[in-house]
Amino acid sequence: MNTPQQPLNISIIGAGGIGSNTCLLLVNALRNGVIAEHLGGIEFHLYDGDEVEDANLIHQRFTPSQIGMLKVDALAETFADIHAAVRLIPHGINLRDSNSLADAHIVIVAVDRPEPRRIVHSLEGKEWYDSRCMGDFTLLLTDQSDPVMIEALTPEHAPASCQPEGAIESGAIQFGFANAAVHLADAIMRSLLRRCGHETEFPDSICDSITKGRIDIFGTPVEPVMTVAPQATKPWSDEDDRILLDGLDHNGRDLDEISRELGRSPNALFHRLRRLMERGDVDAEAGE
């Protein structure tokens, strides 16, 4: 536990769509200093090696005058005078190992790359949050989430934007990043309140869509079904999509049960759901 001589260290990996908007929500919420002073001060350690680009201004919390700056430096500049007990400390690097997080009390990973996610997942005895989005779809995992589910939802993949392909160029922005930031900021605020002695409910995992609502994929712990799912190499059919959407939307079935019926891994189901939402195939009537 932090002491008045040791400010609470909140380390945020990633200063893009989710990370920068989470900073905006959390840091402004701490503006009056009451919570920060009670906790002996709060330091936000920001990790990101990217610079602000013009395309970032559409959905990330930067201004035209900050183009060319490191994102972490820009955020530290924006919130430099928020309160004496609240500091933003920029680190213009991408996370490569856990050494930088040794002194962190709370760790947030908000980048769409598996390597930093796995570094955070491997931390022992630390409170952490893994926030993700695609289109209007949001996923939040925590150190309290089922380990098998965490592993299943963290495969190897190339880095990806939180926006569907062509969305920034066309202006058809989707707001899953903002939804993710709200869920994440709310979870962190609840953690801070608990550290101040307040009683509050605390989420361990969230799967949510702005258009579809809360999706229960965490009903029961996921059990390893098979090394290679029997349908893994087969294209998705309309019937497969119907079973997936109907099961989650109306029947309250968990991801493991649907995985067994379709013969596909939980990770395949999760990414198929992301793809359907990205294409706009999912709406309030899906599955009917």
Q: So where are the chain's domains?
A: 8-205, 220-279
Which of the residue ranges 67-71, 262-266, 274-278 would you say has the lowest mean pLDDT? Answer: 274-278
Rounded Cα distance between 288 and 282, Å, is: 11
pLDDT of residue 228: 45
pLDDT of residue 208: 86
Residue 167 three-state SS:
helix
Between these two residues, 43 and 199, which has the higher pLDDT value? 43
pLDDT at residue 205 greater than cutoff 90: no
pLDDT of residue 284: 33
pLDDT in tens, 112-154: 899 999 999 999 999 999 999 988 889 999 999 989 889 988 9
Between these two residues, 282 and 271, which has the higher pLDDT value? 271
pLDDT in tens, 175-190: 999 999 999 999 999 9
pLDDT at residue 103 greater than cutoff 90: yes
pLDDT of residue 167: 83
Residue 49 three-state SS:
coil
| pLDDT > 70 fraction of the chain, expressed in percent and rounded | 84
Query: What pTM did the predictor assign?
Result: 0.79
Q: If you average pLDDT over every residue of the chain, what do you get?
A: 85
Rounded Cα distance between 90 and 201, Å, is: 31
pLDDT at residue 219 greater than cutoff 70: no
Kindly state which CATH superfamily the domain 8-205 is placed in: NAD(P)-binding Rossmann-like Domain (3.40.50.720)
Rounded Cα distance between 209 and 151, Å, is: 22
- The tokens describing 103, both together, are 């002194």
pLDDT of residue 260: 79
At 278, is the pLDDT very low, low, confident or very high (cuts 50, 70, 90)? low
Packing angle between helix 255-262 and helix 266-279, nearest 10 degrees?
90
Which residue, among 250, 183, 258, has the nearest Cα to 220 in the 3D structure?
258
